[in-house]
A and B are shown apart, each in its own frame.
Chain A
Amino acid sequence: MSRDNRKKKIILPRFKDKRGGFLNFADYRKVSNRIGYGVMVAFLILFAFMAVFPIVFLFASSMKSVSEITSATYTFWPKEWDWGKIGRLWERFDFGRYYLNTFVYVIGAVICAVIFNSLLAYAVAIVKPFGYKVINALVFLGYMVPTILNIFPLLQEIRDFGFLNPDHQSYLIFIPLWLGFGANAYYYMLFRDYFSRLPKSLVEASSMDGANQLQIFFRVVLPLSKPIIGIVAIFAMTASYSDFLLPYCLLQASELQTVVVGIYNISNINPPLQLPDFLLLIMLSIIPQIIIFLVFQRQIMNVGAGKGSKE
């Protein structure tokens, strides 16, 4: 902690270094503006606290014992840390299996999201075959209408394919879940906008050289598209991790359920799980997401910011 403080002191920026933005070093010569800056920092700390507090609350409550969480005198942190509880709950619900299933789901979803949406976007943005505008409009229609809305007919459709045999479900049931990510209007639009912004001369030059369209896609367009592939992959990764309704309807065998579906089903078991134990399971379910975020934080937040500048 103290070492951190020392570090902070060394890199602490000064007012005179603030060159751009709404208020800069010239404004901060005034005392009133410096006070205003202090107020802004205070608000930011307050907001950051509100953002993090529920997560810390979740962690603290999940480590409490049942008698402690229902006791009349409230303490934020547990009096006794029962770390063994994690292992016991993990074993009871075979939580590793949930993680494994989620992993399987996420990998397939990312692959499908990248391949199929980029193929369609490439065809519409660069090859432009007859009727591409109609296709584009139809896909946009899917962007407006949330998938959940048509989930019942979709489920029947999948059932008609014979994937849904409740007696012996296998990992085949993940196929419709994966492929669903291949038909995502938002990812398609991200790819399409990116492809249409690629320099036309590049594509034309390579077609002059006698490269056929498939070669252009693999040798010219794909290598240039690494940033957008990364963006869609990250989106698909977080979306499939949190995806609930379709997996909930399809994954009926408990050996095949993902973390999110498992959590929801556990919330309905009888007799109900003790509150701290349930909170601990939620904590376990969000830890991979927090780790993913901390590893890819720069990419993820750049994507988040880029979303708006596209408009």
Chain B
Amino acid sequence: MNSDERKKKRRKSRIKAAIKRNLFGWALMLIPLALFAFFVWVPMLRNFILSFQDNYFDQNFVGFANFQAIFADPAFLKALGNTFLYILFSLIIGYLVPVILGFLLSEVFHLSGLFRVLLYLPCMISGIAVVFLFSTMYGDSSTDLFNVIAKAFGGEAHPWKGAPNLIIPLIVLAMTWRGAGSTALIYLSSFQSVDDSMYEAARIDGASPWQRFRKITAPSLKATLITLFVLQIISVFQVFYEPLVIGPKGGPLNSSMSLLLLSYLYAFEDFEHGKSAATAIVLVLIIALFTLAYRLLLRVLNGETGNKKRKQK
């Protein structure tokens, strides 16, 4: 009897504690959740609904008319194609540079601190300042930096950012200049996390540096390489300031237009909120697709290594 009561009491106090914990947890989350709702979730939901409406203020439902309209708009199709050009060039120009930088930073031991500071410096500069700076260098007049350099090497003056087929590589160059340093530090830490004793063992076995690189360094880098590959692609979808300023506004002839910039211009210049929202939805779908593919890829890779480990055991 006595012990039963005690049990009941204990259970009661446990339930009380659980309720208290829950209430406390939700009380803590209340303000942050309100902020997330206000700044992230409600605008997202509103944009989703808006993509099926004619505009923000009238709110008449028009079905898929906005999606039909954007897929009939040459500017949108151009932006969609450009997205893949951005990805392509960012992989050609920007993907390997940080890997090389990370390796050099991990191996060169003279003035390593100074090199690190110098390479990281561009990352600190605001995106807007970077695009104005590069926009100046890419100018078409013969006194602008790229033409001065071209002339010094015996070339001719070129329109650079005025040339539709050059604008995307030039924008990617500016992005790489700004971003390479911070990505290089990520690679630096993964180069440094390779176990020295593995190198030592390989050295004793007489493996050449190239063999060491292929058998030890490269495999330990794989996870970082894949992660940053996907992060880079996702970050390329968010190209915005560069075509806005260097283009300018996605120019010349929409050849640097990105989906994000187009969505912004639809809403703020053409006042076609529905088309803006529909463009946003398309972009979200593409990003979601890539994120999903990334997760699947990771799962497959992790599964593989997991199996190997099990087999070895």
Contacts and interface: CB of A to CB of B under 8 A. Distances in A.
A309 B145 CA distance: 39
B44 interface: yes
Nearest to B135: A267
Contact of A146 (B116, B260, B268, B276): B260
B283 interface: yes
A54 B41 contact: no
Interface in A22-45: 22-24, 26-27, 33, 36-37, 40-41, 43-44
Given A127-B25, A144-B291, A311 B223 contact: yes
Contacts of A260: 126, 128-129
A116 B36 CA distance: 10
Interface residues of A, number: 105
Interface residues of B, number: 106
Interface string A286-311: 10011011100100110011111101
B171 to A, nearest CB: 15
Contacts of A139: 36
B263 A149 contact: yes
A304 B209 CA distance: 29
A55 interface: yes
A249 B292 CA distance: 33
Contacts of B46: 150, 153, 156-157
A21 B199 contact: yes
A22 B39 contact: no
Contacts of B213: 22
Interface of A is mostly: helix
A51 B39 contact: no
B209 A23 contact: yes
A304 B39 contact: no
Interface string B258-286: 00100110011000010011001001100
A119 B28 contact: yes
Interface string B106-137: 11111100011111111111111100111011
B35 interface: yes
A217 B237 CA distance: 38
A51 to B, nearest CB: 5
19 contacts: A22-B212, A22-B213, A40-B108, A41-B108, A44-B104, A47-B119, A51-B121, A130-B25, A135-B33, A144-B291, A145-B40, A179-B38, A180-B39, A188-B32, A242-B128, A285-B129, A301-B185, A305-B186, A307-B185
Interface of B: 21-26, 28-29, 31-33, 35-36, 38-44, 46-47, 50, 56, 97, 100-101, 103-111, 115-129, 132-134, 136-137, 141-143, 145, 148, 177, 180-182, 185-194, 196, 199, 203, 209, 212-213, 217, 223-224, 227-228, 234, 237-238, 240-241, 245, 260, 263-264, 267-268, 273, 276-277, 280, 283-284, 287-288, 291
Given A69-B143, A144-B234, A307-B182, 19 more contacts: A23-B107, A24-B196, A55-B122, A71-B143, A72-B143, A119-B28, A119-B32, A123-B28, A139-B36, A144-B291, A153-B47, A153-B50, A180-B35, A188-B32, A244-B126, A260-B128, A289-B124, A293-B121, A304-B120
